[in-house]
């Protein structure tokens, strides 16, 4: 398998096939990144994070009040935990508790709706990327964004979700089972003899390391199988279990090629944040300069026809929106291009693996036919 050529073609597709960009951006916006998972990993630390924290002098307070009409305190701190309200609070009346409960139910319904919409868009976008790249490689056919939507809005998107559900459920179920052998040395240590305890600890450590290695191998194999199963489902129109089985067989038959693709993509995933941080800092600096200048000009113009507090409030809001757009739009586009590159690389890897397997099967020696009735 020519991995270098695969990534070269993926790069060319990412740059030239611009209809893919739309679905790459959708996939980037609807996929939880590794950084987001790390940010949400510790709920206790999140509770203590500070949202607002300022200290101003008396002269600054007087200037803000004079120009913006805002009476701010000299110091103020707002943490995430300060926003929490408990329904068990004895100071709340029954009416207030009912209102809070209605708000919580409404928010949960909104979040559930957003989750469903996010999942639908995520799997439609992934299906579209796979099929568009597959058609381009098969017949050199280039689809428009509208045609891409019709390709993705199909039963294959539902099957991709079910494939993920089956594979991840199986991986999560097998994960604790791999560490069961590491608990067996506890039976040796029950005797409480120093030699038995030392041997038990050594054996437990060795089995734990073996279990950890098996866990890593299992998850890597599962994730590779998942990518290949997605392509088998979309390009070969197989069912859920048939796609998983097809991906598993291709992974085993072309392990070196698909493993190298996975390794390169993981390396790119690790390098990507290092590249994004300086770009994000640069975009923030430029955005602050441009949006700040525009906000000052807008505030000065609006102050001629509106009250100062209203004029500068509008100018600040517009400046913040421009700053967010100046930073978020380029970074989102970069994330979309990354998703297009990754999806194209896996699709091309799948096609190459299928081609290599077909060639290998065709070149395999056939058993000689037995002659019936030979004397």
339: in domain: yes
pLDDT score, position 375:
36
Q: What is the pTM of this model?
A: 0.76
51-84 per-position pLDDT tens digit: 556 666 777 677 767 666 666 676 666 665 555 5
- Residue 96, domain member (yes or no): yes
Average pLDDT on 215-229 reads 92
pLDDT over 50 at 274, yes or no? yes
What's the structural domain count of the chain? 1
The pLDDT assigned to 34 comes to 47
- 208 sits in the region (left: phi over 0; alpha: psi -120 to 50; else beta) called alpha
Q: Are 251 and 221 in contact (CB under 8 A)?
A: yes
Least confident of 67-76, 179-188, 231-240: 67-76
Catalogue the E-assigned strands of the chain. 50-55, 75-79
User: Which range (59-63, 87-91, 214-218, 352-356) has the least confidence?
Assistant: 87-91
Higher pLDDT, 99 or 90: 99
| 292 within some domain | yes
Structure tokens at 194: 């120093």
Q: What is the DSSP annotation of 4-68?
A: HHHHHHHHHHHHH-THHHHHHHHHHHTS--HHHHHHTS-HHHHHT-EEEEEE--HHHHHHHHHHH
In a domain? residue 102: yes
Helices and strands in the chain, H and E counts: 13, 2
Query: CA 135 → CA 148, 163, 183, 348, distances in Å?
Result: 11, 22, 51, 11
pLDDT for position 370: 44
Q: With bands split at pLDDT 50, 70 and 90, how would you rate the model's confidence at 158?
A: very high
DSSP classification of residue 79: E
**pLDDT(341) > 90:** yes
Considering the domain boundaries, does residue 176 fall inside one?
A: yes
| Mean pLDDT computed over 306-319 | 80
Domain that holds residue 330: 3-48+89-355
What pLDDT is stored for residue 204 in this prediction?
80
Residue 52's pLDDT is: 59
> Does residue 341 sit within a domain?
yes
**What pLDDT is attached to residue 181?**
80
Q: Of 41-50, 136-145, 221-230, 284-293, which range is least confident?
A: 41-50
Instruction: Report pLDDT for 172.
Output: 92
Q: Band of the pLDDT at 298, cuts 50, 70, 90?
A: confident
Say how far apart CA 264 and CA 8 lie, in whole Å: 13
In a domain, 57, yes or no: no
Banded pLDDT at 373 (limits 50, 70, 90): very low
**Has residue 76 been placed in a domain?**
no
Whole-angstrom distance, CA of residue 220 vs CA of residue 135: 28
Question: Above 60 in pLDDT, residue 37?
Answer: no
Tens digit of pLDDT for each residue in 160-179? Answer: 999 999 999 999 999 888 88
Chain-wide mean pLDDT for the chain? 80
Question: Which residues 6+ apart lie within 8 Å of 21 measured at CB?
Answer: 333, 336, 337, 340
């Amino acid at each position: 398998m020519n991995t270098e050529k695969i990534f070269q073609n993926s790069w060319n597709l990412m740059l030239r096939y611009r209809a893919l960009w739309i679905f790459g951006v959708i996939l980037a916006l609807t996929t939880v990144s590794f950084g987001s998972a790390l940010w949400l990993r510790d709920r206790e630390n999140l509770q203590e994070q500070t949202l607002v924290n300022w200290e101003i002098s008396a002269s600054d307070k007087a200037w803000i009040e004079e120009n913006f009409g805002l009476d701010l305190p000299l110091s103020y701190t707002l943490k995430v935990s300060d926003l929490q309200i408990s329904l068990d609070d004895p100071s709340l009346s029954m009416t207030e508790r009912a209102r809070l409960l209605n708000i919580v139910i409404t928010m949960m319904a909104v979040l559930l709706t957003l989750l469903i919409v996010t999942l639908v868009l995520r799997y439609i976008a992934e299906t579209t990327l796979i099929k568009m790249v597959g058609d381009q490689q098969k017949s050199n056919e280039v689809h428009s964004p509208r045609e891409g939507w019709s390709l993705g809005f199909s039963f294959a998107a539902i099957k991709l979700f079910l494939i993920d559900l089956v594979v991840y459920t199986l991986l999560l179920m097998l994960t604790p089972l791999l560490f069961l052998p590491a608990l067996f040395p506890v039976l040796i240590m029950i005797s409480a003899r120093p030699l038995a305890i030392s041997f038990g600890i050594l054996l437990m450590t060795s089995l734990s390391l073996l279990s950890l290695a098996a866990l890593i191998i299992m998850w890597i194999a599962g994730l590779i199988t998942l990518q290949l199963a997605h392509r088998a489902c979309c390009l070969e129109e197989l069912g859920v279990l048939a796609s998983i089985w097809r991906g598993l067989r291709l992974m085993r038959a072309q392990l070196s090629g698909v493993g190298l693709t996975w390794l390169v993509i993981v390396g790119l995933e690790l390098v990507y944040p290092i590249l994004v941080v300086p770009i994000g800092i640069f975009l923030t600096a430029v955005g602050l300069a441009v949006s700040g200048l525009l906000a000052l000009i807008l505030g000065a113009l609006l102050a001629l026809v509106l009250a100062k507090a209203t004029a500068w409030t509008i100018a600040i809001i517009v400046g913040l929106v421009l700053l967010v757009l100046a930073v978020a739009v380029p970074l989102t586009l970069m994330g979309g291009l990354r998703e297009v590159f990754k999806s194209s690389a896996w699709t091309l890897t799948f096609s190459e693996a299928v081609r290599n397997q077909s060639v290998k099967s065709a070149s395999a020696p056939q058993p000689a036919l037995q002659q019936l009735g030979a004397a």
